[in-house]
Amino acid sequence: MTTLRLAIVGAGPAGIYAADILLKAERKFDVSIDLFEHLPAPYGLVRYGVAPDHPRIKGIINALRDVLDTGRIRLFGNVLYGRDITLADLKKHYNAVIFATGAVKDADLNIPGIELPGSFGAAEFVSWYDGHPDFPREWPLTHREVAVIGNGNVALDVARTLAKHADDLLPTEIPGNVYDGLKASPVTDVHVFGRRGPAQVKFTPLELRELGEMRDVDIIVHDEDFDLDAASIAAIETNKQIMVLNRVLNSWRTRESTGASRRLHLHFWAKPVEIVGTDAVEAFRYERTVPDAAGGVTGTGEFREVAVQAVYRAVGYFGSPVLEIPFDDKRGVIPNREGQVIDDADQPVPGVYATGWIKRGPVGLIGHTKSDAMETVAHVINDQANWWMPESPSEASVIELLDTRGVKFTNLNGWHNLDQHELAIGEAVGRTRIKVVARDEMVAISRG
């Protein structure tokens, strides 16, 4: 039976799901899988891209942990592809590689003023409050009035984190520096802007309901945004999720103000036009929109401004180029055909595959990543004629390579060390977990 030595670059859900599917297909061949991750810890955006007050994510992490803990996958953390290990190295030691590097940068929003001090990308803020080791420990939470641009779950996560009282995040695994920053925040008003209507939002019902459950935060919606067109009404009547979202939003229209110290405002039919300011953000300018009868919106020519001192754009994620691998600069993905990477001549690149957001773009929920990986793995299995023929396929040779280069890599046992350490320091102060943030500290704990 053929033995496949496979490398997967990226130990988030996409990479781990691909490894799991390959293991379950072992009746077709023996497989030896190594996961390479540039962070010292696994799980990618599940650990570093989801708001800490989402306990349901723990269930996803448990499922991913079960895959790693089979003992049939090796994890090499703190290893950066393109620096610590190259494509030439992978060809020398493996038969094929799957890139599952995700999308972690903010998509651009090309409006005047976007570069002003006080204008931020949501992905950077999420990385900060999730304790990503490659981001600064401090965040400038000095603004009373804030705008969030976007009508997806990331926009709600950012808005909720800004509006929520820091003490209410203590039951989560929020890092200490993040708690201190949010605790000192003077914020009073958070405004969320979406260019389309309430029947076209990309929220999930659970995310939306969470807004209304925040202590000492009033939710404010505006009646003028609920003058719905026929397409919106039809969507509400035929789509259960949209129906629930509409019910939640409408319940807030009749909710009386509690006089809370903070307010979260939801604005619909608002197209971003400009971030106003001279030396820093002073206001957010938008144009009122209406449905265009073709599923989109059109401007009305009515412009409004809301005084804010900070703006967060949550208009999507964007992938980053991968060294020596074809890249689509417009879509932010590795060009591929069902996971088979293709070159500029539209021909498959032998031995190179992609899965997850770097394959299809940052769309869909985590569950979609599993079916996405199945499609890619099917091609890996059927492409044995295109596999590389490695010179040094032994498992020991990769460790020798990294050791020779002085790479302080972490492994699965190291992750268990870090995991137990974070749980212990959390337990010591009555919390479930406190994340270790500094990369050097994460590596030191992992390596014992």
Structure tokens at 429: 């102060």
User: What's residue 55's pLDDT?
Assistant: 67
Q: Helix 122-129 and helix 176-183: axis angle, to 10°?
A: 120
The domain boundary residue, chosen from 283, 299, 316: 316
User: What's residue 1's pLDDT?
Assistant: 54
pTM: 0.92
* Domain shared by 185 and 136, yes or no: yes
Q: Which residue has the tokens 């996961």?
A: 35
User: What's residue 25's pLDDT?
Assistant: 79
User: What's residue 325's pLDDT?
Assistant: 97
* Domain shared by 209 and 351, yes or no: no
* Domain shared by 97 and 152, yes or no: no
Look at residue 421 and tell me if it is in a domain: no
Look at residue 45 and tell me if it is in a domain: yes
Look at residue 437 and tell me if it is in a domain: no
Partnered with residue 283 across adjacent β-strands are 276, 307
Ramachandran quadrant class, 78 (left: phi over 0; alpha: psi -120 to 50; beta: rest) = left
* Domain shared by 172 and 246, yes or no: yes
* Domain shared by 111 and 88, yes or no: no
Cα 55 to Cα 171: distance, rounded to the nearest angstrom: 10
Look at residue 417 and tell me if it is in a domain: no
* Domain shared by 27 and 83, yes or no: yes
Q: What is the CATH number of the domain that holds 369?
A: 3.40.50.720
Query: Is the C-alpha dihedral spanning 23, 409, 415, 59 positive or negative?
Result: negative
User: What's residue 71's pLDDT?
Assistant: 86
Domain encompassing residue 283 = 107-316
Look at residue 177 and tell me if it is in a domain: yes
Contact 270, 193 (CB under 8 A): yes
Number of domains forming the structure of the chain: 2
User: What's residue 2's pLDDT?
Assistant: 62
* Domain shared by 210 and 295, yes or no: yes
Look at residue 434 and tell me if it is in a domain: no
Q: What is the CATH number of the domain that holds 267?
A: 3.50.50.60
Kindly provide the b/e burial profile for residues 200-214, where b requires at least 16 CB atoms within 10 angstroms of the residue's own CB: bbbbbeebbebbeeb
Look at residue 83 and tell me if it is in a domain: yes
* Domain shared by 83 and 155, yes or no: no
* Domain shared by 269 and 166, yes or no: yes
User: What's residue 28's pLDDT?
Assistant: 63
* Domain shared by 301 and 159, yes or no: yes
* Domain shared by 59 and 190, yes or no: no
Structure tokens at 349: 């690149």
Cα 231 to Cα 108: distance, rounded to the nearest angstrom: 29
Q: Say if residue 347 is exposed, middle or buried (CB neighbours under 10 Å; 0-12, 13-18, 19+).
A: exposed
User: What's residue 371's pLDDT?
Assistant: 85
pLDDT means per 10 residues, the chain with 448 residues, are 85 95 77 95 90 76 90 95 97 96 92 97 95 93 97 94 95 91 98 95 90 95 93 92 95 92 97 97 98 88 98 94 95 95 94 95 77 91 85 93 97 97 93 92 96
* Domain shared by 156 and 274, yes or no: yes
